Amino acid sequence: MDAEEDFGGEEAYVQPEGKPDLNLIMDIPVTMQVVLGTAVMPVSNLVKLGRGAVVKLNTSIGDPVDLIVNGRIVARGEVVVLENEESRFGITLTEIVSPGSRPQRSKTTGA
């Protein structure tokens, strides 16, 4: 098939040799999650949870959190309180996970 073949009346864009044109994907939405930790419990304990219940996570204060994009861990960081918005959190990235060492799917997203 010719790269410049007509698709639906529009001429296909052919990127010059070299770097790909990332502008083509910049508006694609992604889902980002920050995972503080996980917990495992039997359903019998889960159904007893109510308002005010505390669920113990597998992490401690100061442990890195995972930044997950579309179900894949892409970075780790530390939770911070935003300076101008004391009631909001953010994360400071401390590690970018290299593509070769990324788990295929995060266990916490169920994907």
CATH C-level class of 29-111: mainly beta
The tens digit of pLDDT for each residue in 17-59 reads 777 888 889 999 999 999 999 999 999 999 999 999 999 999 9
75-to-42, 64, 72, 103 alpha-carbon distances in Å: 30, 10, 9, 11
In the numeric block, which tokens belong to residue 107?
């266990």
Q: What is the pLDDT of residue 109?
A: 46
* Domain spans in the chain, listed from the N-terminal domain onward: 29-111
pTM more than 0.85: no
Residues of the chain above pLDDT 70, percent:
76
- Separation of alpha carbons 65 and 67, rounded Å: 7
Instruction: Give 77: exposed, middle or buried? Use CB within 10 Å, 0-12, 13-18, 19+.
Output: middle
Q: Which residue type sits at 63?
A: D
